[in-house]
């Protein structure tokens, strides 16, 4: 009794060990993971207070969520070493969903550090690994690729990605900030492509969400609108939106654009003040643009040139054409890989179909040979039976001839009743049996019937021979009526309908007797002959 119990325990432990690790994750981490999709700041604050002892798997999972919440802000890691460990771990575990998220984190970090080509490669890898039904991360990937292309000046490519991002954000629907960011960047891409109407459509889509957004996103949207109005030459509107953006959050980009507005309005003093402040920005592109604008105001200031040149050497230079070509190569490689997979799959299908056809042919060929052998055996047996039947038939005929030869032919009414002999003849009884089986009479049956009538019923035989207009079928009807066959039997034996038999009897009344009458009248006249 113990042995089966031990085996059951061992098997149960093995099954438990094979259960997917996702079911062993810390439930609080799972809750935080769900929360950071809706409110990254709340998730970040809760992660800071999270101090539980974790399993190695949960520890890496915790690091992934923490990295995602960090990179949602404006900061970045100086190197990829911490993120690389997460990528390597999930690569070994072959957990595609979490590996895709790790690649996305590394892509965001590389983008923030100006490594655009590497960032794009990681983002495309994340796009392949992440589940297609995960709208949140689908939006994050497309938004990132849109931002990278927008920064690099690949405006058309950026617009394609940002359209997908906004579609995913709308479908996810639980994160207003994500929706606003997607449409805000898409508006900027439309503006750079010169499509101001589409820009305004994107902004109108964001407007109902403003009350639900964080201050940073509100400020960024207002700066974006102000930038558009500045380039449209509507300086007062531009300043209005830029100042409103400053009320939500401080922005060096807003300072730079306000400097541009004041410069275009002819107020060089205010423009200079704003550009000086913007030149302290942590964003290299904003700092570079601010220093370039200050050099326009102060072309003789050597220090500005030195700062600009020093910054220029630090900024990673991105060629938009080169980046577009790089993405095109990645896309072509992916298409070639998919084509290869489809081709291999198609070849396997074709080979499978060919093998199936070959096996089917061999199987049916074998079956046909077996059927032919069986038919040949049946045919041989049939020929043997037919030969036996013919031999038996000949023997019966010989016996009949002998009986006729040695039988006394007594014509006296006392010893011989012609009518009874006819009705009890073998040919007549045989036809009754055939009719009862629902079969039609064959030529042999008709010949025997004709012979019987010719030999034993002289009156009807003379009547038939004397009327040359009668067809063979009509003669058969007359003989059957004479021998007391009912219409239904006649119909079966002649393989015609009962109505045809009735019609034929009515016609025969005229042919035989020259009188008009019904079928029954004809039957009576025939039997009276």
Burial status of residue 350 (CB atoms within 10 A of its CB: 0-12, 13-18, 19 or more):
exposed
Q: How far apart are CA 416 and CA 429, in angstroms?
A: 19
**Is 42 part of any domain?**
yes
Tokens found for residue 246:
């400053």
Burial status of residue 295 (CB atoms within 10 A of its CB: 0-12, 13-18, 19 or more):
middle
CATH of the domain at 122: 1.25.40.10
Domain boundary among 249, 265, 289: 249
How many CA atoms within 13 Å lie on the side-chain side of 163? Answer: 8
**pTM > 0.75: yes or no:** no
Domain boundary among 221, 249, 277: 249
**Nearest in space to 123 (alpha carbons), one of 138, 104, 109:** 104
Tokens found for residue 45:
């604050």
Q: From the CB of residue 527, how many other CB atoms can be counted at a distance below 10 Å? A: 13
**Is 117 part of any domain?**
yes
**Is 389 part of any domain?**
no
pLDDT at residue 52 above 80?
A: no
All residues at 6 or more sequence positions from 365 whose CB lies less than 8 Å from its CB, including other chains: none
Q: Tens of pLDDT along 64-94?
A: 988 998 888 878 888 899 999 999 999 999 9
- Total count of domains within the chain: 2
Q: Tens of pLDDT along 278-317?
A: 888 877 778 888 888 888 888 888 888 888 888 777 766 6
Domain boundary among 214, 249, 284: 249
pLDDT at residue 256 above 50?
A: yes
* Distance in Å from the first CA to the final CA of the chain: 101
Q: At what angle do helices 472-482 and 443-456 cross, to 10 degrees?
A: 60
Q: How far apart are CA 165 and CA 188, in angstroms?
A: 14
**Is 394 part of any domain?**
no
Residue 150 lies in domain: 26-249
**Nearest in space to 136 (alpha carbons), one of 275, 37, 257, 242:** 37
pLDDT score recorded for residue 317 = 60
**Is 330 part of any domain?**
no
* Structure confidence at residue 8 as a pLDDT band (50, 70, 90): low
**Is 350 part of any domain?**
no
**Is 2 part of any domain?**
no
Q: Tens of pLDDT along 156-186?
A: 888 899 999 999 999 998 889 899 889 989 9
**Is 41 part of any domain?**
yes
* Structure confidence at residue 470 as a pLDDT band (50, 70, 90): confident
DSSP states of 84-124: HHHHHHHHHHT-HHHHHHHHHHHHHHHHHTT-HHHHHHHHH
């Amino acid at each position: 009794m113990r042995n089966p119990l031990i085996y059951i325990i061992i098997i149960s432990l093995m099954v438990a060990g094979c259960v997917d690790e996702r079911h062993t994750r810390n439930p609080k981490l799972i809750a935080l993971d769900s929360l950071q999709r809706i409110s990254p700041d709340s998730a970040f604050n809760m992660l800071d207070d999270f101090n539980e002892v974790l399993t190695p798997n949960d520890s890496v999972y915790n690091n992934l969520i923490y990295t995602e919440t960090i990179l949602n802000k404006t900061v970045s890691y100086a190197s990829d070493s911490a993120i690389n460990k997460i990528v390597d771990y999930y690569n070994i575990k072959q957990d595609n969903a979490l590996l895709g998220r790790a690649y996305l984190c590394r892509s965001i970090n590389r983008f923030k550090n100006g490594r655009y080509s590497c960032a794009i490669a990681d983002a495309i890898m994340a796009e392949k690994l992440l589940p297609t039904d995960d709208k949140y991360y689908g939006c994050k990937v497309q938004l990132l690729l849109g931002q990278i292309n927008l920064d690099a000046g690949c405006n058309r490519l950026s617009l394609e990605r940002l359209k997908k991002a906004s579609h995913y954000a709308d479908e996810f629907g639980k994160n207003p900030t994500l929706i606003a960011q997607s449409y805000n960047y898409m508006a900027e891409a439309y503006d750079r492509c010169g499509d101001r109407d589409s820009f305004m459509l994107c902004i109108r889509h964001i407007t109902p969400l403003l009350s639900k957004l964080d201050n940073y996103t509100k400020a960024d949207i207002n700066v974006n609108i102000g930038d558009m109005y500045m380039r449209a030459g509507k300086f007062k509107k531009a300043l209005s939106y830029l100042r409103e953006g400053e009320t939500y959050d401080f922005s060096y980009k807003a300072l730079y654009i306000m400097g541009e507005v004041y410069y275009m309005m002819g107020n060089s003093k205010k423009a200079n003040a704003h550009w000086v402040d913007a030149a302290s920005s942590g964003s290299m592109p904003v700092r570079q643009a601010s220093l370039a604008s200050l050099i326009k105001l102060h072309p003789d200031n050597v220090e500005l040139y030195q700062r600009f040149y020093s910054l220029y050497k630090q900024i990673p230079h991105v060629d938009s054409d080169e980046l577009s070509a790089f993405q095109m190569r990645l896309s072509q490689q992916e298409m070639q890989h998919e084509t290869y997979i489809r081709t291999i799959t198609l070849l396997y299908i074709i080979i499978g179909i060919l093998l199936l056809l070959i096996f089917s042919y061999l199987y049916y060929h074998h079956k046909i040979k077996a059927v032919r052998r069986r038919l040949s055996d049946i045919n041989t047996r049939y020929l043997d039976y037919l030969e036996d039947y013919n031999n038996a038939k000949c023997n019966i005929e010989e016996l009949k001839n002998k009986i006729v030869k040695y039988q006394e032919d007594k014509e006296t009414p006392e010893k011989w009743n012609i009518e009874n002999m006819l009705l009890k003849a073998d040919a007549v009884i045989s036809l009754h049996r055939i009719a009862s089986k629902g079969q039609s009479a064959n030529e042999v049956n008709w010949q025997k019937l004709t012979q019987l009538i010719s030999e034993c019923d002289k009156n009807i035989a003379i009547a038939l021979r004397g009327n040359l207009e009668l067809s063979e079928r009509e003669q058969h009807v007359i003989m059957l009526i004479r021998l007391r066959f009912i219409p239904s039997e006649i119909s079966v034996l002649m393989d015609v309908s009962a109505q045809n038999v009735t019609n034929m009897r009515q016609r025969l009344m005229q042919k035989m007797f020259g009188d008009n009458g019904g079928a029954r009248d004809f039957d009576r006249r025939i039997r009276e002959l």
